[in-house]
């Protein structure tokens, strides 16, 4: 479109005029094409043989630096055998485990480990990692190469963050990062759409989950107990296949009124929070079979929950002396955290927390086979001096 504009000297000049929204639309299309091209190029590089060639060269360079004995040991590792310094298993477990399957499992245990063995980067055929009780603080950069990984069990270490590369593990079905030092979870974890079990217990600085985890539509088990959540993550309410949700030992003040979105929910752990009531929407979840709550502070419970014979409604109560002592301990702990927010948790604290959780799980499992459950259960600690 052109307009004729009169100039001061009487000349007529054609000035091009265009719609700004049209220019913006054209620019957005170009940006979109450019991003699409970049994504295609990245996919081409990932699917090409270049990373494998580079890995082979790195392997050869590494072998040059080894002595004959170390080189033989490395070849022994790469023949799909497990590491020599791994977590021992019982004879029964060895008999039950398929020999071929055991070669696809990596196990690491012990405080002497501060980093992953270097030779692990060439064992990309592995399907399971079981790493616990080490002083390892981060996952390796080559994690994305383990595309066949289906189980990643890394509890009770000192891991401070999960790398974005974890989203490349699209075949992952189980992820356990309990009792580490996470303060956040990467949004890329939402790309692991085959994930069925996610455990994030005891990462004391964890207070939220990214919305991108809403895409975990196959997730059956979500455990975010012993953290700092003040409300249920929005993404958790969109995990439509969820059957077990553990929210215990957080700072929840109330529950959302749309929890009946979880239409497949069977077991719900809510104890050790600041809840004073349970919402009526829980009665609309027809699949619900068990609820575990703290009976000390709850004063409003829908009758259809606590009197329904189809639902095992379990109240856990602290005796008064224990509750008062625990409250004082929590207040002192809060003061210590304010003084030193980045203090490293002691090993005894981790063991104490995990031990209490294991005790509750065993007790709840023992109630599953009983026709009726107690009106309330009080935990009593007994010490014996010999």
Phi, psi of 320 (to 5 degrees): -60, -45
| Predicted local distance difference test score (pLDDT) of residue 370 | 62
Separation CA 68–CA 66 (nearest Å): 7
| Predicted local distance difference test score (pLDDT) of residue 267 | 95
The answer for residues whose C-beta is within 8 angstroms of residue 30's C-beta and 6 or more apart is none
What is the homologous superfamily of the domain 101-319 according to CATH? Answer: Ribonuclease Inhibitor (3.80.10.10)
| Predicted local distance difference test score (pLDDT) of residue 23 | 74
Separation CA 210–CA 291 (nearest Å): 26
Separation CA 294–CA 229 (nearest Å): 17
What would the pLDDT profile of 160-217 be if each residue is shown by its tens digit?
999 999 999 999 999 999 999 999 999 999 999 999 999 999 997 899 999 999 999 9
| Predicted local distance difference test score (pLDDT) of residue 40 | 76
Phi, psi of 49 (to 5 degrees): -85, -5
Q: Spell out the domain ranges in the chain.
A: 101-319
| Predicted local distance difference test score (pLDDT) of residue 52 | 62
| Predicted local distance difference test score (pLDDT) of residue 44 | 73
| Predicted local distance difference test score (pLDDT) of residue 303 | 87
What would the pLDDT profile of 223-235 be if each residue is shown by its tens digit?
999 999 999 999 9
Ranges of residues in the chain with a pLDDT under 50 are 1-3, 5-8, 80-95, 97, 100, 341-344, 346-349, 351-352, 380-386
Phi, psi of 13 (to 5 degrees): -120, 135
pTM, two decimal places = 0.70
C-alpha distance from residue 167 to each of 125, 172, 216 (Å) = 18, 9, 12
Here the tokens at position 160 are: 């401070």
Q: What is the DSSP string of 100-146?
A: HHHTTEEEEESTT-SS--GGGGG-TT--EEEEES----S--GGGGG-
C-alpha distance from residue 109 to each of 72, 102, 353 (Å) = 23, 16, 19
The answer for residues whose C-beta is within 8 angstroms of residue 306's C-beta and 6 or more apart is 313
């Amino acid at each position: 479109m052109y307009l004729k504009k009169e100039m001061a000297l009487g000349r007529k000049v054609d000035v091009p005029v265009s719609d700004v929204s049209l220019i913006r639309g054209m620019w957005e299309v170009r940006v979109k094409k450019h991003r699409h091209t970049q994504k295609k190029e990245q996919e081409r590089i990932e699917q090409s043989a270049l990373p494998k060639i580079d890995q082979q060269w790195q392997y050869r360079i590494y072998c040059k630096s080894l002595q004959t004995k170390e080189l033989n040991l490395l070849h022994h590792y790469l023949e799909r055998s497990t590491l020599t310094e791994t977590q021992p298993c019982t004879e029964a477990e060895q008999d039950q485990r398929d020999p071929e399957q055991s070669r696809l499992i990596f196990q690491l245990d012990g405080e002497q480990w501060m980093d992953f063995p270097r030779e692990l980067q060439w064992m990309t055929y592995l399907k399971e990692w079981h790493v616990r009780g080490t002083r390892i603080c981060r996952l390796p950069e080559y994690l994305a190469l383990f595309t066949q990984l289906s189980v990643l069990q890394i509890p009770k270490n000192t891991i401070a963050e999960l790398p974005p590369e974890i989203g490349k593990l699209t075949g992952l079905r189980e992820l356990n990062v309990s009792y580490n030092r996470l303060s956040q979870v990467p949004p890329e974890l939402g790309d692991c759409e085959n994930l069925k079990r996610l455990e994030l217990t005891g990462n004391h600085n964890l207070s939220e989950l990214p919305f991108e985890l809403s895409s975990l539509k196959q997730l059956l088990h979500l455990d975010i107990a012993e953290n700092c959540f003040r409300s249920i993550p929005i993404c958790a309410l969109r995990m439509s296949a969820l059957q077990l949700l553990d929210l215990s030992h957080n700072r929840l003040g109330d529950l959302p009124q749309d929890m009946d979105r979880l239409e497949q929910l069977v077991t719900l752990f809510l104890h050790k929070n600041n809840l004073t009531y349970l919402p009526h929407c829980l009665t609309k979840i027809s699949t619900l079979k068990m609820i575990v709550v703290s009976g000390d502070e709850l004063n409003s419970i829908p009758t259809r929950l606590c009197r329904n014979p189809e639902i095992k409604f379990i109240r856990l109560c602290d005796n008064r002396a224990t509750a008062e002592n625990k409250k004082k301990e929590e207040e002192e702990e809060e003061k210590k955290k304010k003084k030193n927010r980045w203090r490293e948790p002691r090993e005894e604290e981790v063991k104490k927390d995990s031990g209490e959780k294991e005790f509750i799980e065993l007790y709840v499992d023992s109630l599953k086979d009983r026709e009726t459950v107690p009106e309330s259960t009080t935990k009593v600690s007994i010490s014996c001096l010999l």
